[in-house]
Chain A
C-alpha cells in the first residue's frame, strides 16, 4: 500500500493536481507516525502508512500555514474521513479544493479501533488498499469505561471527574488536536466578557471541559485524538462519546456518517422528547 500511496502522491504533485500532500511520516521504527507535508515529488519517500498512523490529519486543514501551501491532498482513514464530512457540512472545507486519499484500514492499534465502524473511506477521490474483514487489530475491548462510569451514582461520577480535571493544566492540547475545533478565536480566549475562567482552577477546568464537550456534541466523530493528546491522561473523549450516544439515541444521528443527514443542532422536531420538562 505504501508504494501505491507514494506513487499516487508523486503523480498528484507531478501533474500539479495538488501543491501539498498531508500524510504520515516516520522518524524511527516503532514511533507513532507524525504528519508530513510533502510539497516536492522527490520527497514522497517520506510518506508511510501502517498501524502507527493514529493521528487524524484532517486537523491540519484548519491551519493557516497549511492553507497557504495551496490545494492539498489529504491521507485519511475511514474514521478520519468522518471529520471531513462534518467539516464540509460546516462550510470549513470545500471538497473541491481538496484531494482525498483514502486508506483502507485494519485498525491502528488504538483503543478506538475496537469500535471502528468505517474501515474503508467512503468518499475518497482515490482509495488505496482493501480493508481486511478481520475486526480491528485493536486491543481487545476492555470493559467500557463510560458504561462503568454511568453505572456509578452521580456523586461518584462527580468525584471521578473532579479528580481527573484537577490534573488539567489548561494546555488545550485536546482542542488543538481536534479536527472540529476550528474557531479562529476559541471561546476561552474571549475576554470581553470572560465566559470561561481561564485559570487552571477546578472551576475553570470544569467550565472548560463542559464547554468543549458541548461544543462537540453531535459533531464529534470519535477519533479519540483528544484523549490521546492529553498530557495529564484525562479521558476527555468519554464526554464526547457520552453525548454521541444521546445524539444517536434521541435523534438517530451519528456525526460524519451520512453527509445528507440534518445536523442535530440548528434543526428541531416537534416530537423531541420533553419528559424532563415540566
Chain B
C-alpha cells in the first residue's frame, strides 16, 4: 500500500458511553490518528445493520460500532438488543465474504478515554495496512 493512503473510518457511537469516553480522551489530551469520523447516536440499539452497509457504500474503509458495556446501557437494554443483532449480522457478512477485519465492535464506557484512544489508533493502523476496501468500492463503481 502506498504511504499516501489514509483510511476513512466511520464510527457509530452511543451518546452516553463511548461518545463521552471520546470526550474524556480529549480532555486528557490523548492523541490518536485523525481518520475516524464519529456519528453520535443515542444508543447502540439505534445502530441498524443498514447503517454499517451504508457506511461502506459511502466509501468507509472500516466501521467501528461502540457503546456501553453490558448492564451499563443508559436505556437499560439497548446494547443487549444490539449485541444480538450483531451476532447474527456478522454471520451474514461472513457468509457473503465481507472483510471482517474492517468491522469492529467495542464497548467503551464514559470512563475509558484511554481505551478509545487505543481502539481508534489500532483500527486506523490496521486499516492502513489493509489498504482501501477496494472489494466494496468496486461494487459501488460497477455500472456507474
Residues of A in contact with B (beta carbons under 8 Å apart): 146, 149-150, 154-162, 195-197, 199-203, 206-207, 210-211, 213-214, 217-218, 238-239, 242-243, 245-247, 250-251, 264-270, 272-274, 276-278
Contact = CB atoms under 8 A, between A and B. Distances in A.
Contact of A277 (B71, B95, B99, B107): B107
Interface of B is mostly: helix
A247 B90 CA distance: 12
15 contacts: A146-B95, A155-B135, A158-B98, A160-B97, A196-B50, A203-B143, A206-B96, A213-B92, A214-B92, A242-B95, A246-B87, A264-B88, A268-B80, A272-B83, A278-B119
Interface string B62-105: 00000000110000010011011111111110111111100011
B31 interface: no
Contacts of B86: 276-277
B70 A270 contact: yes
B75 to A, nearest CB: 12
B84 A150 contact: no
Given A150-B95, A157-B96, 4 more contacts: A203-B139, A270-B70, A277-B86, A278-B119
A248 to B, nearest CB: 11
Contact of A158 (B71, B85, B92, B96): B96
Contacts of A156: 97
A156 B70 CA distance: 35
A250 B88 CA distance: 9
Contacts of B95: 146, 149-150, 157, 238-239, 242-243
Given A203-B142, A277-B105, A277-B107, A272 B99 contact: no
B143 to A, nearest CB: 4
B84 A272 contact: yes
Contacts of A277: 83, 86, 105-107
Interface string B108-123: 0000000000010000
Interface string B129-144: 0000001001110111
A276 B66 CA distance: 12
A207 B85 contact: no
A53 B112 CA distance: 59
> How many B residues touch the partner, as a band?
35 or more
Contacts of A218: 88
B125 to A, nearest CB: 15
Nearest to A268: B80
Contacts of A206: 53, 96, 139
A154 B99 contact: yes
Contacts of B83: 268, 272, 274, 277
A149 to B, nearest CB: 7
Nearest to B89: A214
A203 B77 contact: no
